[in-house]
Structure 1
Amino acid sequence: MRKARPNKEGRWAWRLTGFVTLCVYIFMFAPIVATVILSFNASMFGGFPMTGFSLQWYGKLMANEQVLAAFRTSLWIALVTAAATTAIGVVTAFALVRFEFPGKQVLSTLVILPALVPETIPGVGLLVLIKAFDQPRTLLVLVLGHILLAVPYVVLITQARMVGIRRVYEEAALSLGAPRFSSFREITLPLLVPAIVAGALLAFTISFDNTSASLFWRPAGVETMPTQILSMLKISISPEINALGTVMILVTVGIPLIGGLFLRSLTRFRIKAT
């Protein structure tokens, strides 16, 4: 029997779908490509056609103390956020998957809720809360806010991995007399390593790249990388901003890629070891 060939309408539907998909990708990635290319423009007026290739704007970034201070602030906030959210997310996911207790569904909803609403809502909500208690905006508030935004993603990733881990391994260890904590540490935790690394990298990226909520929570005079870019845009649009945007792209895209390669290498190593 001959295979049925797609009719004319079907071919045009697929072509239209491909064309729309191509337009969406161009719309999404063309500004990123333009930002990276213009960061090497020799002219101080960012635009095409380029007048030459130069690294001077990256050199100016390295000499800009405000940018360096914002980078250091964003870096340590993202590291603290990644560490805290990973610990909270793993424990929360383990409790939600392995145990039954009153209010479990309510807790699950509250944990995931920050990921379901725009960042502006928790940003304004936390700001109103600290104002109600007459508390100033501090770096601690900023870190807690970033943890609040990143925890749901770590919990979801860890939950997905936890569901795939069979309880029989933990039950076997418990039946042999191992304490529950030792069973978790020696059996469950190593199996969760891919999810833990993925969650930590995602939390780091969310914190490092956060803009809207950071505008509400940052103390006066403290800038993160995204808010520093916004403050520079208020003055002028120069290739230095394009260079800073390129650095942000490299950090937010490069770290997950490196983490993915690390997880792939770790998986291959375990397969060979077994």
Structure 2
Amino acid sequence: MGWKLIRGWTVAVYIFMFLPVAVVLLLSFNASQFGNFPMTGVSLRWFVELANNDAILRAFRTSFVLGILTALISTTLGVLASLALVRYWIPGRNLVSTLLIAPILVPEVVLAVALLLFLNALSINKSFALLLMGHVIFTLPFVILVVQARLVGIRRDYEEAALSLGASPMETFFRVTLPLLAPAVFAGMLFAFTISFDDITGTLFWKPGGVETVPTQIFAMLRNSISPEINALGTVMILLTVGLPLVGLAIARRLATQRGR
């Protein structure tokens, strides 16, 4: 009886959490310009208007560029940091590891305000570079955690065997270590892109004037009225942020299976 109550409560919590998402998905296909029930019909009208909205298209381009750059920089730094922390002994390794993971522990709004005040004290104005740096700081710990977990499970025998056969440390990394790390690297890159693409708290503090990402564009649109285009835009965001990790997980598992063979 107890387990039935727990399962029922769990189902109720999930319904409570995901029902608003389902409503947004459903209303994005509503033919009426008023987001209410019952729906007057099914239509792709709002997706067409979304595709013709220049402001939203600019926001999508900005978010994609920002997400890709964040993913590339965070993944590169995360792989190098993980190698240094796992494969080599460095003074204060535990302290360095804690500092790299700290942005996860600090509330994002506190981190955003702290970085903004610090740069204002240095007389550095808001810019796209500042926005990119903030996203890298916030996403880097996720990449490090994923890559470290994979790197710990890779035996050093493979690398030592390559070195003993005459390969240089650089060749060993690119021909042995990196292929074995590929699933974790790919997963970390997708995590960084998704987190950057969805971020709004830090972006509101760091973005320069005239630059909008998709989340901040949605926030700006909500100030005026709840347009049906927002539901369509929310549907696109949901598909991207849910679909990309699922695709990445499938690819990472496939890569891991091929490496295991």
TM-score class, shorter = over 0.9
* Residue 237 of structure 1, aligned match among 207, 221, 226: 226
**How far 1:269 moved relative to its partner?**
4.2
What is the TM-score with the length of structure 1 in the denominator?
A: 0.92
CA distance, structure 1, for counterparts of residue 254 and residue 80 of structure 2: 26
Percent sequence identity is 53
Residues 270 and 96 of structure 1, relative CA distance in 2, 3 Å threshold: closer
* Residue 196 of structure 2, aligned match among 201, 207, 213: 207
AA matched with 1:202: F
Q: Which residue of 1 aligns with 2:165?
A: 176
- Rg larger in 1 or in 2? 1
AA matched with 1:241: I
Q: Which residue of 2 aligns with 1:111?
A: 100
Q: Secondary structure at the match of 1:43?
A: coil
What is the TM-score with the length of structure 2 in the denominator?
A: 0.97
Residues 30-89 of structure 1, C-alpha deviations (whole Å, 9 max, x = no match): 011100000001111101111111111111111111100000000000000001111000
Question: Which residues in structure 2 correspond to 1:191-230 (within 5 Å)?
Answer: 191-230=180-219
**How far 1:264 moved relative to its partner?**
3.2
**How far 1:250 moved relative to its partner?**
0.9
CA distance, structure 2, for counterparts of residue 31 and residue 269 of structure 1: 39
AA matched with 1:244: L
CA RMSD of aligned residues (A): 1.1
1:57 is the counterpart of 2:46: yes
Residues 86-114 of structure 1, C-alpha deviations (whole Å, 9 max, x = no match): 10000101110011111211110110000
The count of corresponding residues between Structure 1 and Structure 2 is 261
Q: Which residue of 1 aligns with 2:138?
A: 149
**How far 1:215 moved relative to its partner?**
0.4
**How far 1:270 moved relative to its partner?**
4.4
Residues 111-151 of structure 1, C-alpha deviations (whole Å, 9 max, x = no match): 00001111111100111011111111000000010000000
Q: Which residue of 2 aligns with 1:19?
A: 8
Structure 1 segments unaligned to the other structure (5+ residues): 1-10
Contact 2:182 2:255 (8 Å CA) reproduced = no
